[in-house]
Each structure stands twice: as C-alpha cells, then as structure tokens.
Structure 1
Amino acid sequence: MDGGRFIKRVEELSGLDRERAELTTRATLVMLGTRIDPGEADDLAAQLPDSLAACLPHEGEAERFGPDEFKRRVARIVPLANDQAPKAIRAVFTALSEAVTEGELRQVLGQLGADYEPLVGLPTGTHAHASR
C-alpha cells in the first residue's frame, strides 16, 4: 500500500479530513515508534512507504507508557478532541494491519500491553501472538 492510499484509508475509517488524517497517521506512527523497541520499529518501517517509514523513530530505548498517555500524546500533536482520538488511532492501526504482513503486525502489537487492545482495536500483548 502506498502512502497516499494509507492516508486515504485512515481518512475513510476515521471520518477526518485528509490533512488531519495525515497528521494523525504521522503522530500515531511516531508514538508507536517511540513505544516499541528500535529493532521492531526498523522492521515495521521496512514494510511501509518511505513517507510513513520516516515517522518511526529508530534510536534509543523504547518508552514504556500506557494507552491513555499514547492517546494524549497523539491528541496533543494533531490536535484532536479526547473523544476523537481513539477512533482516529484505531483507524491508523487498521490501515497498518492492511499494509504490513500479519507476522510483522503481531510482532509490533505483541510489544504493546494487553491494555492497548481497546485503543488499537486489535489483539495486543500476549493476545497478539495467539490471535489472527
């Protein structure tokens, strides 16, 4: 999936306009790249178009923060209202699930705690390896 199609998919799923869908996608990928291990961020970036792969930080240790902080950070960057953020973030993860291999998606989601499941709309933590 190319970058334009990815953003269009987020736009369709979230109900946001194109500009906000793109900002949400980039902010979500930046936060995801910050949250997962650098090697996993590199692996994920390798399966995304260059324009989106550039959003994934590849250095430093992963920051451990919960889904509420993830949501707050994305909402602050875009900006989004608190009630808009979960749907928009979920749209990015849905598009991500359509753009990368199932194995890579499981690896990424496996690094998120099970408490991320309601936010991303997909099995996370140990559930990521048991599902799909």
Structure 2
Amino acid sequence: MSTSYTDFIGEVQHRIEAGRRAEAVRTTRAVLETLGECVQEGEATDIASPLPMEIDRYLLAADHGQRYDYDEFVDRVVERLNYDDLALDSAYGAPSPVDTGEAVYRIKAITELLDEHLPGSELADIEAQLPDDFGDMFEFIDAETKPWEEA
C-alpha cells in the first residue's frame, strides 16, 4: 500500500492524538531510527521500501545490527523524543516532554501503521528476529479495536 508523506504523518498524528504535525514527525523519526538500529541493513531496507522517501531515511541511516532489549529500545525512543535538537522559534514553543508510558503507546501505534504498509509478513519476519521481550511492541497489530478507532 503506497502512501504519501503527508498521509503517513497525518495518520501518525491522528493515532497519537498530536496537536501538531511536528509532534507526529518527531515520533515517527524517534521510533523508526531506533527500529533501524535493531535490524540488519537489508531488513531496514525491506521495511523502508514501501514508505515515503521522507520517512524511509530514518530507517536507512541508522547504525544497524545493534542488540539490546525492549526496555533499552523504549529508553532510546524516549531519549529521542525528548532531545531538543531543533532551534524552535519561541512562538511555537518547545515540544512537550514524553514519558515512558506515552512512548510505549507511540511505538505500538507506529508499529501497527508499519504493518499496514508492509507487504505480506514482512513485519512478522522482523518480529521473529527481535528478542522475545519485543512482543509488546506488536500488541496493536492483532487487536480487534485500535485505541484510535474508539469513539
């Protein structure tokens, strides 16, 4: 399923209930860069290929093949979400801090969105290659009702 950058980021914004697109971009970047670190370069390319080029670079530019547990994965996402790497104009203000619980939710939301965009069982192949404690990351994929679909 091919999608545009605008549509992908818009869907992330909807799922994480972000007030600004910048928050959706920041979340996408944090999760995909960290995921890119956990997989081999070829796997990162497989995940990235159906994504818009403005997004696939987060996976492709990572330092691939690192091994760490899910708690470290979450910690790295939290660190990236809270790192002030932008010179924001004071009119926009700094991004709100993101705690661990919110980061875990965002990781799961992005993972489920990836599953919608990847062909076949590509994400299941990635899940099988990650340590067992990463199973939580894939929670929303088989959920009958997604949190963002609830009224």
Give the structure-2-normalised TM-score. 0.73
Aligned-pair CA distance for 1:51: 0.7
Aligned-pair CA distance for 1:116: 0.9
Q: Are residues 1:75 and 2:114 paired?
A: no
Residue type at the aligned position of 1:121: E
Q: Are residues 1:109 and 2:112 paired?
A: no
Q: Match of 2:54?
A: 51
Which residue among 8, 29, 35 is the counterpart of 1:6? 8
Q: Secondary structure at the match of 1:47?
A: coil
RMSD of aligned Cα (Å): 1.9
Q: Match of 2:25?
A: 22
Q: Is the 8 A contact 1:39 1:58 kept in 2?
A: no
Taking a change above 3 Å as real, the CA distance of residues 83 and 37 of structure 1, as seen in their structure-2 partners, is same
Normalized per residue, the structure richer in helix is 1
Gaps of at least 5 residues in structure 1 are 124-132
Mapped partners of 2:22, 2:61: distance in 1: 25
Aligned-pair CA distance for 1:102: 2.6
Taking a change above 3 Å as real, the CA distance of residues 61 and 50 of structure 1, as seen in their structure-2 partners, is closer
Residue type at the aligned position of 1:99: H
Which residue among 118, 136, 139 is the counterpart of 1:100? 118
Structure number with greater Rg is 2
Taking a change above 3 Å as real, the CA distance of residues 78 and 42 of structure 1, as seen in their structure-2 partners, is same
Residue type at the aligned position of 2:73: F
Q: Secondary structure at the match of 2:58?
A: coil
Taking a change above 3 Å as real, the CA distance of residues 59 and 25 of structure 1, as seen in their structure-2 partners, is closer
Give the structure-1-normalised TM-score. 0.82
Gaps of at least 5 residues in structure 2 are 83-97, 142-151
Mapped partners of 2:140, 2:67: distance in 1: 19
Q: Secondary structure at the match of 1:48?
A: coil
Taking a change above 3 Å as real, the CA distance of residues 61 and 51 of structure 1, as seen in their structure-2 partners, is closer
Mapped partners of 2:45, 2:25: distance in 1: 21
Mapped partners of 1:61, 1:84: distance in 2: 25
Query: Could you tell me the percent identity over the aligned residues?
Result: 29
